[in-house]
Amino acid sequence: MAVLLPLLQQSWQELHKIIFTPLHLLFLFLLLYGFKCIRRNGKANLNLPPSPPKLPIIGNLRQLGTLPHRSLQALSKKYGHVMFFYFDHAPTLVVSSADMAREMMKRHDIIFSNRPKTTANNSLFYGCTDLAFSPYGEYWKQVKKISVLELLSLKSVQSFQNSREEEVAILINKVRDLCPKEVTINLSELLIENTNNIVTRCVFGKKFKEGDGKGRSAELPRKVMVLLAAFFWGDFFPDLGWIDILMGFIPSLKSTCGEIDAFLDQVVEEHRTMKCDDDEHPHKKDFVDILLQLQKNGTLDFELSHDNLKSILLDMLVGGSDTTSTTLKWVMAELIKNPSIMKIAQEEVRRVVGNKSKIDVNDINQMDYLKCTLKESLRLHPPIPLSLPRETSKSLKFRGYDIPPKTRVFVNIWAIQRNPKLWDRPEEFIPERFKDNPVDFKGQNFEFIPFGGGRKGCPGLTFGVASLEYVLANLLCWFNWRLPATNAQGEDLDMTKINALTAFRKNPLLLVPILHSS
Q: At what angle do helices 187-204 and 461-478 cross, to 10 degrees?
A: 140
pLDDT at site 392: 96
DSSP letters for 23-64: HHHHHHHHHHHHHHHHHHHHT----PPP----BTTTBTGGGS
Task: Report the pLDDT averaged over residues 380-394.
Answer: 93
User: CA–CA separation, 82 vs 49, rounded Å?
Assistant: 6
Average pLDDT of every residue of the chain: 86
pLDDT at site 485: 81
**Kind of pairing, strands 401-403 and 408-411?**
unpaired
- 279, 285, 289, 293: CA torsion to nearest 10: 40
User: CA–CA separation, 242 vs 264, rounded Å?
Assistant: 30
DSSP letters for 127-196: TT-STTTSPSSHHHHHHHHHIIIIISSHHHHHHTHHHHHHHHHHHHHHHHHHGGGT--EEHHHHHHHHHH
DSSP conformational letter for 215: G
**Kind of pairing, strands 510-515 and 401-403?**
unpaired
The number of residues making up the chain comes to: 518
pLDDT digits (tens, 9 = 90+) for 335-367: 999 999 999 999 999 999 999 999 999 999 999
DSSP conformational letter for 402: E
pLDDT at site 66: 82
pLDDT digits (tens, 9 = 90+) for 449-461: 999 999 999 988 9
**Kind of pairing, strands 82-85 and 408-411?**
unpaired
pLDDT digits (tens, 9 = 90+) for 205-221: 988 765 454 445 667 88
The answer to whether residues 250 and 122 touch, using CB atoms and an 8 Å cutoff, is no
C-alpha closest to that of 130 among 264, 284, 323, 223: 264
Confidence of residue 3 (pLDDT cuts 50, 70, 90): very low
* Domains present along the chain, CATH in parentheses: 8-45 (no CATH), 46-515 (1.10.630.10)
